[in-house]
């Protein structure tokens, strides 16, 4: 999710850093019953980007489930901010989280910062 802060050029600054990832998730579009597979491409405390075989209208309500390494099962509600076609009949979706428990948001933010720190230490 974007914050209301703006940089000196008027560009909106993210409230939460995002980390590039590549792991599976499932999602259910509001009104559907069966979960469908997707692939998470980035994650931050305010939302994710993932890809799937279908497109969504802006502001579609989704329930997203995934495992945050090392073994934390997460299920969140979100709304699509953007859904665009990608290569190979895939679609990329930006999803902003809604109603995220503080403990889950903290776990996501900790995961992102730990990955950034680990990468920095390897450099």
Tens digit of each residue's pLDDT (9 = 90 or more) over 30-74: 999 999 999 999 999 899 999 999 998 999 999 999 999 878 899
The region of weakest confidence among 3-12, 56-65, 96-105, 111-120 is 3-12
Does residue 5 surpass a pLDDT of 50?
Answer: no
pLDDT value, residue 12:
42
Of 99 and 9, the one with more pLDDT: 99
**Looking at beta carbons, which pairs linking 64-71 to residues 24 or more positions away fall under 8 Å?**
64/25, 64/26, 64/27, 64/38, 64/95, 65/25, 65/26, 65/27, 65/35, 66/23, 66/24, 66/25, 66/26, 66/40, 67/23, 68/107, 68/108, 68/111, 69/23, 69/111
Question: Which among 100, 62, 54 is positioned nearest to 80, based on CA atoms?
Answer: 62
Pairing of strands 12-14, 2-6: antiparallel
- Domain extents in the chain: 2-122
What DSSP designation does 73 have? E
- Which pLDDT does position 16 carry in this prediction? 64
pLDDT beyond 60 at 111? yes
> Thinking of the domain 2-122, which architecture would CATH place it in?
Beta Barrel (2.40)
Q: What percent of the chain has pLDDT over 70?
A: 87
């Amino acid at each position: 999710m974007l914050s209301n802060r703006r940089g000196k050029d008027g560009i909106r600054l993210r409230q939460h850093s995002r980390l590039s990832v590549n792991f599976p998730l499932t999602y259910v579009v509001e009104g559907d019953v069966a979960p469908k597979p997707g692939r998470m491409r980035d994650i931050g405390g305010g939302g994710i980007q993932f890809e799937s075989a279908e497109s969504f209208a802006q502001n579609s309500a989704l329930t997203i489930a995934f495992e945050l390494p090392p073994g934390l099962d997460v299920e969140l509600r979100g709304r699509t901010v953007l859904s665009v076609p990608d290569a190979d009949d895939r679609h990329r979706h930006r999803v902003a989280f809604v109603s995220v428990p503080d403990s889950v948001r903290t776990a996501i933010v900790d995961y992102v910062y730990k990955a950034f720190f680990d990468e920095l230490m390897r450099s």
